[in-house]
Amino acid sequence: MNEIPNCPKCNSEYGYEDGSLIVCPECAHEWQLDDNTSKEDESVVKDSNGNILASGDSVILTKNLKVKGSTSDLKKGTKVKNIRLVDSDHNIDCWIDGYGSMALKSEFVKKG
């Protein structure tokens, strides 16, 4: 019998095979047995078009975004230079002229 590894998300030992996937019954995470995923792979940040972003890149907003505490919005097409990637739900930290320090989600930008 094949040795099924512990779940990479929650470290549960109760994973089972479901076709070509391994399924964790505790956290519902699915992965392939030959997957060599690492923390580096999980921290890849992609823009709205699927391009991989890196710290120092320039991005362009793909939609108007409301700014909490401000009466004006960030307009679609605004270019943001020298972004910094962080590990949080808003995975881009940046400085936008006229607004200051901002946290953006990568799903609302494209590489530019």
* H, E, C per residue of the chain: CCCCCCCCCCCCCCCEEECCEEECCCCCCEEECCCCCCHHHHCCEECCCCCEECCCCCEEECCCECCCCCCCCECCCCEECCCEECCCCCCEEEEECCCEEEEECHHHEEEC
> What integer best gives the mean pLDDT of the chain?
86
pTM of the model: 0.61
pLDDT at 91: 92
pLDDT at 37: 47
pLDDT at 34: 65
Q: Which of the residues in the chain have pLDDT under 50?
A: 1, 35, 37-41
pLDDT at 3: 81
